[in-house]
Structures are given as structure tokens and as C-alpha cells.
Structure 1
Amino acid sequence: MTNISHSDLAAFIARCLGACGMPAADADRVGGMMARADLMGQEGHGVFRLPMYIQRIRAGGMNMSPEFKVVSDRTATALIDGDNGMGHLVMHHATELAMEKARNAGVAWVGARHSNHAGPASLYAMMPAQEDMIGIYMAVASANHMPPWGGTEMLLGTNPIAIALPSDKFPPIVLDMATTVAAYGKVKTAALKGEQMPEGWMVDRNGAPLTDPTKSADGFLLPIGGPKGYGLSLIFGILAGVLNGAAFGRDVVDFNADAVSTTNTGHMILALDIKAFTDPDTFRADIDAVWTQMKSSETLSGVDEVRLPGERMHSVTQTRLKDGIPLPEALREKLGLMADDLGVAPL
């Protein structure tokens, strides 16, 4: 592993995207958001994805100068068309719009279609949380890796949800989870590191455990909680995809395998202004009280402490701000070759 600072990583990503024709301001924004994924410990959605993004851009599968259009607009709702733009930019725009509407209406739901892969769900749920709001984000995953419960045809993805709640003295509570036991990005990063997967992440088409990430195409991901996870993936996909006129089921394009076809990825973001219910200071203090209750509860034998959603992410972020972001040597070499090909300064 080699450590690199968040700012250097963000600048590198921006250089690469700029070399592919992305406007400088957009490249800087995406670079910062992608590097933040690595900073938070969500490596499967950070710079690891950059070569795939670059491949899609150079193949003409993504629009570098999108014009976002509001397809439907009401007081507390909107649907935007991302014009096949970079998912990070589409969802940043959608989240800003949701927060603007929530300041007036108390709550706002904004859907997006004709987008692309947008990185970790928590990026967008945390934006409202930084503005005394609660953020809820869902998306249709950028590839199908899970069948409906009891089936074998992969019609569903990891279809994630993230919910962020602001606090005062403690870190915000941030739930960011796939509806599968493991996100597919973790499978790909395990393969890159030469690691095996734990049993329970995937099974082969006969239902036997699959632990070799390089053979992931021979099987499929398992849902969390069996049929309950399947149900969540289905509903989240409908809310983020079908409702918005975005791809779902057999219409989903495998972002990892097809760099040309338009993905029409769907997302949704909900922003809820805490002031519509209570004083934000009171709410943040109440969330601190929740922290205290959970952390002070008695633990099972062999368990050191109770942890809250987002606690590890906050700890990793603080460590990496100080010590830098670790990059596997194989990934660093891959990024170096890509930088040479693009004619930009390497990491």
C-alpha cells in the first residue's frame, strides 16, 4: 500500500477527467467527490472506478457537456433528466434542488433518470445532513448481480439506500448499505488485492458458496436477510428506477461490461428539513442522546463495543485525513498506465 492525500487524489482524478474533455469545474467537483469516497473508506466507489469511467467516456458512452432538464416540477417534487451525464454531477444537482425545495416545503423528493453510476450512496444523503436536514438516497445499481428470491436470472442489483441524520457532539448517524450482503465493488476490489471473499457473499448457479472473486461471473450476490433483502432491492429499484422512467430489470446495462450503451441509471434523493418538525439544535442533541444510549448499552460476551451506522466511516475519514489514503500497488500501477495514456501527471 502507498498512501496519498485526499487533495492529491482529487486533483489527479480531475486531471484525468479534464483530459477526456470534462469542463474544469465539473472535473474538480467529480474529483473531490470520488476522492471523498476513498477518504471515507468506500474504496469500491472511489478512484478504483476511474479507469471504467474513462473507458466509457472515451467510447462515447457518457456525455461530457450534459444539460440537465427538469421534466416535472411541483412544490415538493421534481424529476430531472441527466442527459447521460456523469452520475456524480447529476446527483449533486438533484440533491441541491431537493434541499432548495425542502427549505420552502419542509420536505422534497427529487428523482433522476438518464444518469450514470454516481459513487457511494452516502455522498448524497450526507449533503442534506450538513444543512440541518435528513437525507435519504436510493438508486438502481449499475449492473444486475442478483436474481429475484428463488430465481436464477439476474434481474436485480445491489440497489442501495443511504440515510443520514445530523448530530452535535458525535458523528452523524449514516446508514449506507447495499441490499446484497456485499456490494459488487467489494468483490472487484477483493479480486484486485488477490483476496478471497467470505462465504455468504456469493453462490454459484448451483447454490454452492463462491469465494473466488475472479470467478464472480459464474455466480450471483446474495440478498441481505434472504427474501427480505430481495424485497428491499425490488422496491428501491422501483422507486429510483421505474418511477423515474429509468432502467430496471432486463433493461439495466452492465456498466462494467458495456462502455458504449446509454445506461439510463435512476436515482432518488429525499431531503427533509428538521425545522418542519422540531428545532434543529434539539434534534441534534437528541441524536447525541441516542448515541449515548447505544454506546452505553451492555455488550455480548466477546464484543468490545456497540457501534452506530457511520461510526467506522467517520473514524476512517479522520485517520485518512491525517495519514493519507492507502492505495494498493496494483491499482496505483493501473492508474499510472492510464495517466501515461491520457498524457497527464501521475499520482
Structure 2
Amino acid sequence: MDELQVLSQLRILRHQYFQLVEPYQLRWPDSAILKAPDVQSWLFTNLFDADGITSPPPQRYQHRVLKLLISKLEKSIDNPEEDRRCLFNHLLTWFFPCEQEISNDLMSAMGTLLTSCVPSEADSAQQKAFVTYSYPLHLNNGSTSDERTVTLLEARSVISSSGTTGLRTWEAALLLGSYLASESGRTIIRGKRLFELGAGTGMLSILCAKYLEVAGIVATDGDEAVVDAIKTNMFLNGLDTDDSSGCQVRTAALKWGWPMDATTFSEDYGMETPDVLFGADVTYDKSVIPRLVSTMWEFFELNSALQVFISATIRNEQTFETFLNACKRNGFGFEQIDCPPVPEHDQVGPFYPTSTPIQIWRITRSQVAKDPFAI
């Protein structure tokens, strides 16, 4: 295996690690590669160097991954009994001569984690943590670049007091992000004004504002606490409302079903009427579909040429069928975008399960709607 192939494997592992993929799902290079001193040095620098990584995973997660890595290195040692005893002593005293097998840096990182007050699994699951999503840019030579990353503070196991699921990023958003970052998606949104419904963590809006050359974007959610979290995540990614990047970036609370005032839209949202409206995982609750479709109708009233993109994990086919029927009865045209999920074993970032279908639909206005609440 040549150097570029090894580096590609290591980058995929890094993408998984910073997205907090479960350790047992990480795609490790084989033992012969892991044993190489330069590979171990790369792993320490890029995964476990506390002084050089600005948005690290939780310590509990680091500990689980590093423990697994050291276990793999132990098993690759040529003389298991002798070197395992040496490894144990090295962990305790840090100066036994095992550095030819497992690097001092990796062992020191494990020692630091073992002596830290690492929270329990239960406590760790309830805390907000840095999660980094990678959308590698595919270059002309077939290689990829790591330049497109979005780092968020997420509460992956927490639902807020108001019952929202907007404090973590869901798989439908990850697939929609892949589409928007593709050549086809970039052609649609480049230079356009975007408006996101049910933005949750703000991952999609941040991706578009940071990398995809949009003119402006408003990230909205119906929960004020979630909107505050979006502001924090935008700050983490170097975005603010000062238009310093050349892209207008705004956040706002938006309750679906309320009428839009065309004369005050710019004043309310700091942006002219949008060209593209999008939302991910916004159709999972049948009870909100009338209000969602009503809001889409209001946006079409503002701009009849609007394009709407809805990404949905199809957990309940009847619920999603209710959404499509509502669109049909309101005079909306719709078509499914050809952007199937990447099989899990081929994903290079972001990473998401594919056991439940995920679909992206483009919705347009084909005629004047008479009843925005029609279902």
C-alpha cells in the first residue's frame, strides 16, 4: 500500500473520530500500518494531542478509542508475552523501553486520561460535546482535501425541556449537506439567498455560509434555546452577523404556520426574499405537516420561483405520504432528487446509518394554492 493510500485511510479514521462515530465502527488501518512509528506519530498529533487540538472529543470517548488502539498495537507485537508485560510497566512508569512498538506520546496520552476525572458513560452522554463533520472536497487527481469541516457543540443524547430534537444533527441533514456540497448542489445555491427551516444545530446553514459561496442565509428554528445554540455554533465556525465573510448570516426564531409579511421580511430577517428554502428531518411528525406546508405556501407567495429542498429520513411511510399529498393539494410540484445515501462502508465523511431510507425532494410551485392548510 502506497503512502497516499495510507494517508487516505488515516484521514477517514480522523473524520470518524471527530464525528464521534462509535469506536467499534471505526475503520482502522491494518496492524502492520498501525505499528509504523510515523503512523503512530500521526495518530497522536491528529487525534490525541491535547495541546494541538482545539475542539477535541469528550475525554470518555478519547479514552475508549485510545484503549482500542493500544489493544490493537498490543496484538500486533511479535513477542506478545514479553512486550505486553513491558507495555503494562510502561503505562505505570513511562520509561520502560517499549517505544519501538507503542509510542511514548500515545502511552502518555493514555496515562493522562487514566489519571483525569473522566466522567462516567452516563454523565458524558448528557453533556454537550464538540462534533466535527467533514465534507471532503474531491480533487481532480482523485484525492480529497480536508478543508470543509463544520464543528458544532451538540447534546447528542439530550432532548431540551421543550421537547425539541434540535440539539443534535440528524442523518437527513448529513445527506442534504452532501448534496448541497456536490457539483450539482453548488450550481443551485451558489450566489443565492437561502433560508433554512428547523435548522437544529445549524450544521447545514454553516456549511453553506462557510464553504458553498451563497449570498446570504437565515437559519431558523421554532425553539428559542435551539436558536441560541445555532448562534454559538456559528461563532465556533468563525461566522457572525457582521458580514465579514461576504455572506449575510442571520438566525431567527420562526413558528410555522404564521403568515409572512412581504413588506417587512427584509427588516425581520436581514435578507431579501430567499431563492432557496430547505429543511432536513422536518416531516417526521404528522401533526406539524399542515403548518410546515402553510409556511412553504407563504414563501411561494413571496417568490413564486422559489426552490424548496426537503430531506427526510422515512421512518414512517404514511407520515411522509401525508406530506407529499399536502404538497400536491396545494398546487406544489415535487420530484425526488437522485442522491442516494452512500453505503456505510464507502462513506468518507460525513458518516450516517443507511438502514432507514433517506430521500431528498425538490418542491416547486406549479399553480396558485387556494388553501395553505389543505391536507
Q: TM-score category by the smaller chain?
A: under 0.3
The structure whose RCO (Cα within 8 Å, separation 6+) is larger is 1
Give 1 or 2 for the bigger CA radius of gyration.
2
